[in-house]
Chains A and B, each alone.
Chain A
Amino acid sequence: MGLTAEESGRLAALLETHADKLTASWTDAVAAPLRGRLTRAELLRQVQDLHRTLVEALQAGDFDLSAEAAASLRATLVEMSRSRARQGFSAAETAVTVFGLKKALFDVVDVRGADPQVLADLLALGLVIDDLGLFTFETYAKTREELIADQAEQLLELATPVVKLWEGVVAIPLVGTLDSARAQVIMERLLETLVETGSPYAIIDITGVPAVDTQVAQHILKTVVAARLMGAECIISGIRPQIAQTIVALGIEFGDIATKASLADALRHALRMIEANRKARSN
């Protein structure tokens, strides 16, 4: 940005003199496209912050957005675009927060009757605002990318594999909190694997489930009942001491479903059952 110290000073003075009118008009320009999703008071506060930091940056001498003097302005812009991105506002709705200043300037400063000097200053200020807008845009995009990366990671956590432990025994190690949507996916995947592999035994390992409340227990019970309807038996394993205490405290009944402390115990149980069946058949 080719702004001289003198130009910067005049721009700062221009913004200063009309401070109240400018911020009011600016807030209006910002509030319109957001349609009440942020309160006016909140917007006014953001706009005042931007105004104040912009004036400070201009007063510091020849304006440059990447300079040390503009650090607090940059911080304000970053904070604003980050919060907008996280709250799910669109890119245009975020950029308008900066570009609203242009509209406010035209409202406040009498452009038609102004002398050439003021017009030139306004043009220079327009360039400054464009720079701020680009910066906002970039931060916004970066934040969104971070969000997407985070969500991809979460999705990866959700992927729960069903593993074949032995001939006729599959296991599903559950990791993370079980909500209804996830429980549904897990239930379907487990039952489908039972059919595909023709395994009559399934082990549901809940070592990785941080907490078992009535709802989680309900999901597990439903899965077990569905598996039984299909002709497969489920064993629940990996019950930690605290979880066992919670289950009893909550009065959750697992009925005649086999529960084991560890996956190894569950596998042993399943193998024993398979062996017993084999003996019964060969008799």
Chain B
Amino acid sequence: MERVPVLKIGDILLVSIQVDMQDQTALALQEDLSDRIVATGCHGVIIDITALDIVDSFVGRMLSSIAAISRVLDAETVVVGMRPAVAITLVELGLSLDGIRTALNVELGMELLARSRADEPEDLGIDGLSATT
């Protein structure tokens, strides 16, 4: 069975989907990704779908559930590199990717994640930590 690699870059996990998604591949990806999020403590996930010619309701649902899983594990998901033809098809079919943020390319996706991390309140400093202990 084909597996989709999950790469760690700094605080971000990068998933580039290059194969046709099937049930097994999708389930394996969900498992791998949730394992890696917990193992690495990353707060951002970028899913690159540049290589996907077709995004049907199945892939759409997969993306939505990955985003939901990541959110539970306190990681934000950004889908990047959607092709124009794919976007048009999704609109024509009336499909929407609920709860998913998107960016044009990986670079903009990383910026988006960096921005949303910056919006969150500052990490507790040493003082805060010492106050609780």
Contacts and interface: CB of A to CB of B under 8 A. Distances in A.
A281 B104 contact: no
A281 B82 contact: no
Interface range, B side: 20 to 34
Contacts, number: 72
Given A198-B105, A228-B102, A230-B102, A280 B84 contact: no
Nearest to B55: A229
Nearest to A225: B91
A191 B87 contact: yes
B123 interface: no
Interface in A228-255: 228-232
A195 B104 contact: yes
B111 interface: yes
B104 A200 contact: yes
Interface residues of A, number: 24
Contacts of A226: 84, 87-88, 90-91
A230 B84 contact: yes
Nearest to B122: A283
Interface string A254-283: 000000000000000000000001001111
Contact of B84 (A192, A198, A225, A228): A192
B103 A231 contact: yes
B109 interface: yes
B contacts with A: majority SS: helix
Interface in B62-99: 78-85, 87-88, 90-92, 96-97
Interface string A111-126: 0000000000000000
A229 B97 contact: yes
A192 B83 CA distance: 8
Contact of A227 (B87, B101, B109): B87
A231 B104 contact: yes
A232 B108 CA distance: 10
Contact of A231 (B88, B91, B108, B115): B108
Contacts of B109: 231
A282 B82 CA distance: 27
Contact of B101 (A194, A231, A232): A231
A280 B118 contact: yes
Taking each of A227, A231, A282, which has the highest tally of chain B beta carbons within 10 Å of its own beta carbon? A231
Contacts of B102: 228-231
B84 A281 contact: no
A195 to B, nearest CB: 6
Contacts of B119: 280
Interface in A214-233: 222, 225-232
Contacts of B103: 200, 231
B104 A232 contact: yes
B127 interface: no
A231 B102 CA distance: 4
Contact of A281 (B101, B105, B114): B114
Nearest to A191: B84
A273 B87 CA distance: 23
Contact of B111 (A192, A227, A281): A281
Given A195-B84, A195-B104, A281-B111, 18 more contacts: A184-B88, A187-B84, A187-B88, A188-B85, A191-B84, A192-B84, A198-B108, A200-B104, A226-B84, A226-B88, A228-B102, A229-B90, A229-B102, A230-B82, A231-B79, A231-B101, A231-B108, A232-B104
19 contacts: A187-B88, A191-B88, A194-B104, A195-B84, A199-B104, A222-B92, A226-B84, A229-B91, A229-B97, A230-B87, A230-B104, A231-B80, A231-B103, A231-B108, A231-B112, A277-B111, A277-B115, A281-B111, A281-B114
Closest 4 interchain pairs by CB?
A: A191-B84, A231-B102, A231-B103, A226-B87
